[in-house]
């Protein structure tokens, strides 16, 4: 059983990832922590509470960072990608559930104390909450079993940045936080654009979710229409990458991914701000910037069709539960 804290900025793809965690039989969802990103902190927290209500998710919701701890790339929120409400502007009820009083960073500290060495943190937004938890408690890094990050891009499979030529959106939303996390000594796995852009959902796939996954499938398909329209404006095709859910797939089926282990840092200023760079453990560098940076596991290849089938199989359980 995987004990998971889900750290997110709930937009369209985060919502699908949350539903995968909810319906996966091998996952115990301990907590949901929110931050700004795909929408404002008010909207992302509201979205988490709405998801909790709609799908009977028991995990408590903790509100986190409203802004980055350092400079970020860009301003505002990606309304053109996720809509005004972060969930493709589909009609949503007002939430009935309430957010917990404890801030997200403090919740990360406390929940990992309760599940020392057992909690896996899956972060599918920027890493602000994680960096703040590290600042609050010097023992936090050692208590986390693993941190799985959806973020970054290293140029594998010819995939680089999506908000600059080299920067991926989540890392670019708080590069300083990302660099703190990469240098923290935590056990880290990075699921970046190198692999998420190799896992492609199209309209037939969305229709299959609508048909096999009951209300969860309808929710995913409806919210993703906005996302598909955005990607159509870029490529001329009604298809989109599987970003945040790829991190869940890595948790559940790491054998579907090809990985390397190398030290990683994030660029915090200048023209390459937000870029993720990995070193080479066979080299000795003149720069001291790589001294004592522990290795992260970096995903560089993936069986895309198998990941899509895994996601569909998990979500199909929603229909069985409803029946």
- Secondary structure (H, E, C), 103-167: CHHHHHHHHHHHCCCCEEEEECCCCHHHHHHHHHCCCHHHHCCEEEEECCCCCHHHCCCCCCCCE
At residue 280, the pLDDT reads 82
Per-residue CA distances from 58 to 29, 76, 265 (Å): 8, 31, 35
pLDDT reading at 321 higher than 70:
no
Higher pLDDT, 28 or 288: 28
Higher pLDDT, 226 or 103: 103
Q: Residues 180-194: what's their mean pLDDT?
A: 98
User: Rounded to an integer, what distance in angstroms lies between the CA atom of residue 168 and that of residue 15?
Assistant: 19
Place of tokens 């599940």: 115
Query: Sorting pLDDT into bands at 50, 70 and 90, what band is 322?
Result: very low
User: Rounded to an integer, what distance in angstroms lies between the CA atom of residue 109 and that of residue 89?
Assistant: 34
What is the set of active-site residues?
Answer: 9, 243
Write the DSSP symbol of residue 82. H
Query: Sorting pLDDT into bands at 50, 70 and 90, what band is 319?
Result: low
User: Rounded to an integer, what distance in angstroms lies between the CA atom of residue 83 and that of residue 21?
Assistant: 23
At residue 168, the pLDDT reads 97
φ/ψ of 274, rounded to 5, equals: 95, -10
Q: Residues 209-236: what's their mean pLDDT?
A: 87
SS3 content of the chain, % helix, strand, coil (to 5): 45, 20, 40
Evaluated on CA atoms 156, 188, 111, 27, the torsion sign reads positive
Q: Kindly give the pairing relationship between strand 146-150 and strand 200-202.
A: unpaired
pLDDT reading at 178 higher than 50:
yes
pLDDT reading at 265 higher than 80:
yes
Domains, the chain, with CATH or none: 2-322 (3.90.245.10)
Tell me what the pLDDT averaged over the chain comes to.
93
Radius of gyration (Cα) for the chain, nearest Å? 18
Q: Residues 8-32: what's their mean pLDDT?
A: 96
pLDDT above 70 covers what percent of the chain?
A: 98
Query: Sorting pLDDT into bands at 50, 70 and 90, what band is 237?
Result: confident
pLDDT reading at 153 higher than 80:
yes
Exposure of 102 by Cβ count < 10 A (0-12 exposed, 13-18 middle, 19+ buried)?
A: middle
Beta bridge pairs of residue 120: 4, 146
Q: Is 30 helix (H, G, I), strand (E, B) or coil?
A: strand
Q: Kindly give the pairing relationship between strand 61-62 and strand 295-302.
A: unpaired
């Amino acid at each position: 059983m995987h004990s998971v804290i889900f750290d997110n900025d709930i937009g369209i793809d985060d919502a699908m990832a949350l539903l995968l965690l909810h319906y996966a039989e091998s996952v115990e969802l301990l907590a949901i922590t929110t931050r700004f990103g795909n929408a404002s902190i008010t909207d992302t927290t509201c979205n988490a509470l709405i998801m909790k209500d709609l799908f009977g998710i028991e995990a408590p919701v903790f509100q986190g960072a409203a802004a980055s701890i350092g400079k970020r790339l860009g301003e505002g929120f990606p309304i053109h990608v996720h809509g005004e409400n972060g969930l493709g502007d589909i009609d949503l009820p007002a939430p009935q559930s309430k957010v917990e009083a404890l801030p997200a960073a403090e919740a990360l500290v406390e929940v990992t104390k309760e599940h020392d060495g057992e909690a896996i943190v899956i972060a599918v937004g920027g890493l602000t909450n994680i960096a703040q938890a590290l600042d609050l408690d010097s023992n936090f890094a050692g208590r986390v079993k693993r941190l799985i990050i959806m973020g970054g891009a290293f140029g594998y499979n010819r995939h680089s940045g999506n908000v600059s030529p080299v920067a991926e959106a989540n890392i670019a939303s708080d590069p300083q936080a990302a660099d703190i996390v990469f240098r923290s000594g935590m056990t880290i796995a990075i699921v970046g654009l190198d692999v998420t852009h190799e896992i492609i959902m199209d309209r037939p796939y969305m229709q299959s979710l609508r048909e096999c996954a009951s209300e969860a499938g309808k929710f995913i398909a409806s919210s993703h229409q906005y996302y598909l329209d955005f990607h159509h404006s870029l490529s001329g095709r009604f298809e989109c990458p599987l970003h945040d859910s790829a991190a869940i797939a890595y948790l559940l089926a790491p054998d579907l991914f090809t990985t390397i282990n190398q030290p990683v840092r994030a660029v915090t200023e200048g023209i390459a701000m937000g870029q993720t760079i990995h070193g080479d453990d066979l080299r000795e560098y003149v720069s001291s910037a790589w001294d004592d940076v522990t290795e992260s596991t970096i995903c560089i290849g993936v069986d895309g069709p198998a990941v899509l089938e895994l996601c569909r199989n998990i979500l199909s359980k929603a229909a069985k539960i409803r029946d």
